């Protein structure tokens, strides 16, 4: 298992994994998540080119089996929030055929080290309420619920 920075050569594997997470989220929250679409490749390609983004992949036997994206954010506009830098994880996906092998934990560990090296004081992420498996995973890594996003459909 190798954790490394993602490159444009990884695009096909990243799109395949993104399709998995897209289907899962659309199935469980179709009012929030659109079905996977061909535009995902362009979106991921732009993310790969973003030099401010942490974009890691896990490679196993020459196949991309997981990826993580994150950004380091600084609050410079809201006076009542702490200004220190935080690492915000946007996406963590592990191939559904490779789960429970420590891949997600390794990706999060590498992200944490990069965040620390960039001065981040905290890692934050959002996990959907329906995704109990992800919630358990993050809790096992020491994450705690800090806030809750609530919504109500209109009409």
How would you write the chain as a 3-class SS string?
CEEEECCHHHHHHHHHHHHHHHHHHHHHCCCCCCCCCCHHHHHHHHHHHCCCEEEEEEEECCEEEEEEEEEEECCCCCCCCCCCCEEEEEEEEECCCCCCCCHHHHHHHHHHHHHHHCCCCCEEECCCCCCHHHHHHHHHCCCCCCCCCCCCCCC
Does 82 score more than 80 pLDDT?
Answer: no
Q: What percent of the chain has pLDDT over 70?
A: 100
Q: What percent of the chain has pLDDT over 90?
A: 85
At residue 83, the pLDDT reads 77
At residue 84, the pLDDT reads 82
Close Cβ partners of 94 (under 8 Å, ≥ 6 residues apart): 58, 65, 66, 103, 104, 107
- The domain made up of 2-140 has a fold known as Aminopeptidase (3.40.630)
At residue 88, the pLDDT reads 96
Token look-up 């897209």 returns 22
* Average per-residue pLDDT for the chain: 93
Does 80 score more than 90 pLDDT?
Answer: no
Is residue 101 packed enough to be buried (19+ CB in 10 Å), middle (13-18) or exposed (0-12)? middle
Contact criterion met (CB below 8 Å) for 11 and 45: yes
Tokens at residue 84, please?
Answer: 């220190």
At residue 153, the pLDDT reads 87
* pLDDT, tens only, 89-131: 999 999 999 999 999 999 999 999 999 999 999 999 999 999 9
At residue 79, the pLDDT reads 80
At residue 27, the pLDDT reads 95
At residue 24, the pLDDT reads 94
**pLDDT band, residue 155 (cuts 50/70/90):** confident
């Amino acid at each position: 298992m190798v954790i490394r920075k993602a490159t444009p050569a990884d695009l096909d594997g990243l799109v395949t994994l993104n399709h998995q997470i897209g289907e899962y989220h659309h199935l469980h929250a179709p009012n929030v998540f659109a079905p996977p679409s061909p535009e995902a490749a362009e979106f991921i390609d732009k993310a790969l080119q973003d030099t401010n983004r942490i974009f890691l992949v896990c490679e196993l036997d020459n196949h991309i089996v997981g990826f993580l994206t994150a950004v380091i954010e600084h609050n410079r506009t809201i006076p009542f929030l702490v200004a220190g830098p935080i690492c915000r994880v946007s996406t963590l996906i592990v191939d559904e055929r490779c789960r429970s092998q420590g891949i997600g934990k390794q990706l999060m560990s590498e992200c944490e080290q990069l965040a620390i090296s960039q001065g981040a004081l905290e890692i934050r992420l959002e996990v959907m309420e329906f995704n109990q498996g992800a919630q358990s995973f993050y809790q096992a890594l020491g994450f705690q619920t800090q806030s809750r996003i609530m919504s109500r459909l209109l009409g």
